[in-house]
Chain A
């Protein structure tokens, strides 16, 4: 299985949850320990080793804040 890496431009995240809803690996979550300058809990990933680099999250992100890399 390909391995991937996602990076979020968290200061622009609006916490809409769409990326969370389409992640097949179910590793994206809204980080309730953090609040960005807009006042939202930004999307984040901690188990990056489980990312398959499918780019579903980036494709559906309305604010284009996600960059996906893949091996």
Chain B
């Protein structure tokens, strides 16, 4: 018998600290498999955020750097400019990227910084205990919105992919999810494309992944995947929002 699937060499042997069924683990391995397949493990530098994935630097089998909350794009900018031959990526959640670090990500995209961002959107603040995030859906309950997010008070959630896709410096922006094996394969294809475009020096690339937080949503891991499909899907549509290679081909 031949091995058809095993743990990626892009991950260390350290056990993930994530809750059972958390999709961070799935996205981690997609990034790790991509680094392994592109043969860039020795040439990659990742920047870990603040949030549930703060310990990402223990899990990826490549050089890693921690960053202050939300500032991963600024740190990645510095690394990429000093080491332009390296492949640089940030791994950030919605509290890091869409709240405290919004300025950094917008301006990194505007400058067309040539790194790749993996953006985990699970519509809540996970690590701090389920508070409302900028991505929390209207009506969704959070510890700081016990009756559900009200549009009159807190507005409507922010769609980062659509927003960043309006910026000229962005080369590739896609939103994917990991709710089924088929979607996981598509998500990996998107992540790989983003890294390839970075290597070709096309500009800023970001893949947003609709993810789960079973613990703070109060659902089982399997129910949480359904919740992504039913509740998040309509507000955060999947798809490619910007692809300059497609525009160049026209």
- Contacts A56-B181, A67-B7, A71-B1; A14 near B222 (Cβ below 8 A): no
Least distance between B36 CB and chain A CB atoms (Å): 12
Contact-residue size bin, chain B (C-beta under 8 Å from the other chain): 20 to 34
Question: Residue B185 contacts which of A59, A68, A69 (CB distance < 8 angstroms)?
Answer: A59
- Contacts A18-B221, A22-B181; A69 near B1 (Cβ below 8 A): yes
Residues of A within 8 A of B23 (CB): 62
Q: Is A34 an interface residue (CB 8 A)?
A: no
Residues of B within 8 A of A55 (CB): 4-5, 181
- A60–B5 touching, CB < 8 Å: no
- Contacts A18-B221, A67-B5, A68-B3; A62 near B181 (Cβ below 8 A): no
Within 8 A of A (CB), among B199-240: 214, 220-222, 225
Instruction: A14 to B17: give the CA distance in the assembly, Å.
Output: 11
Within 8 A of B (CB), among A14-41: 14-18, 21-22, 40
Q: Is B6 an interface residue (CB 8 A)?
A: yes
- A62–B1 touching, CB < 8 Å: no
Q: Is B29 an interface residue (CB 8 A)?
A: yes
- Contacts A12-B15, A64-B8; A69 near B3 (Cβ below 8 A): yes
Residues of A within 8 A of B (CB): 4-5, 12, 14-18, 21-22, 40, 53-56, 58-71
Q: Residues 10-23 of chain B: 1 if any A CB is under 8 Å from the residue's CB, otherwise 0?
A: 01000110111111
Instruction: A67 to B29: give the CA distance in the assembly, Å.
Output: 14
- A68–B5 touching, CB < 8 Å: yes
Residues of A within 8 A of B24 (CB): 62
- A14–B29 touching, CB < 8 Å: no
Q: Is B180 an interface residue (CB 8 A)?
A: yes
Which residue of chain B has the shortest Cβ distance to A40 in the bound complex? B20
Residues of B within 8 A of A70 (CB): 1-2, 4
- A68–B20 touching, CB < 8 Å: no
- A62–B16 touching, CB < 8 Å: yes
Q: Is B138 an interface residue (CB 8 A)?
A: no
Q: Is B68 an interface residue (CB 8 A)?
A: no
Instruction: A60 to B224: give the CA distance in the assembly, Å.
Output: 14
Question: Residue B221 contacts which of A17, A67, A68 (CB distance < 8 angstroms)?
Answer: A17
Least distance between B181 CB and chain A CB atoms (Å): 4
Instruction: A15 to B214: give the CA distance in the assembly, Å.
Output: 13
Instruction: A18 to B178: give the CA distance in the assembly, Å.
Output: 11
Residues of A within 8 A of B29 (CB): 64
Q: Is B40 an interface residue (CB 8 A)?
A: no
